[in-house]
Amino acid sequence: MDNTRPPELAEIEAPEHPDVTDDPSWLVALAHVSTWANRAAAAVAAMLLIAMTALILVEIAMRLFGKSTFMADALVGYGVAGLTFLAAAWALEDGAMIRVSVVTNLLPPRARFIAEAFTILSVGALLALLLIHQWSTVSRLYTRGSVSQHFFPIPLWIPEALFLSGLVLLTGQVIVRGLRLIAVGHSDERPLSL
């Protein structure tokens, strides 16, 4: 009797990626650096999530005694923004972002390539604009020494720098996808083990 049981929900299993890539060695090296940075940022995002959860629990406990940190709302808001953007590049690389490929899967290879190239160029252009704007915002906040208007003043360039860091990593991941598309004709991401 066979004791192995097929998975009930096959759609939630990890996507099948080939272990052997057709990427050139320079692209493999670049992808490894991007993967390492994305995983490090995702780990920081996870730590932010743990810290926010702990802060919320402390705030709840303090309010039971009529006290407050007076900062939980602001810090959790900064934390949510930070963890969202720090984890974005990892989510893109890991295939965790929503991607509707109903139409592109029906296209012939050349049209699929063009659609993918258009998408990567469009996203790259948008990220470039966001990076330029965010860099100027962080620089201005740092130069002026702007702080939040909360009980405990926080330099505003710190939460904005988390957003900027996430944008840099996301741009790097899009560049890796674009280079893969140019070098080997597809931009499929595969999990990389370091």
Whole-model pTM: value is 0.81
Mean pLDDT throughout 143-161? Answer: 92
Higher pLDDT, 125 or 188: 125
CA-to-CA separations, 12 to 9, 15, 17, 96, 104, in angstroms, rounded: 6, 8, 14, 11, 21
Region 15-37: mean pLDDT is 78
Q: Cα dist. 171→66, 125, 128, 148, 168 in Å? A: 46, 10, 8, 28, 5
pLDDT in tens, 101-138: 788 888 898 998 999 999 999 999 999 999 999 999 99
CA distance 148 to 80: 16
Which pLDDT score is estimated for 185?
A: 82
Q: What is the pLDDT of residue 23?
A: 82
pLDDT tens per residue, range 29-56: 999 999 999 999 999 999 999 999 999 9
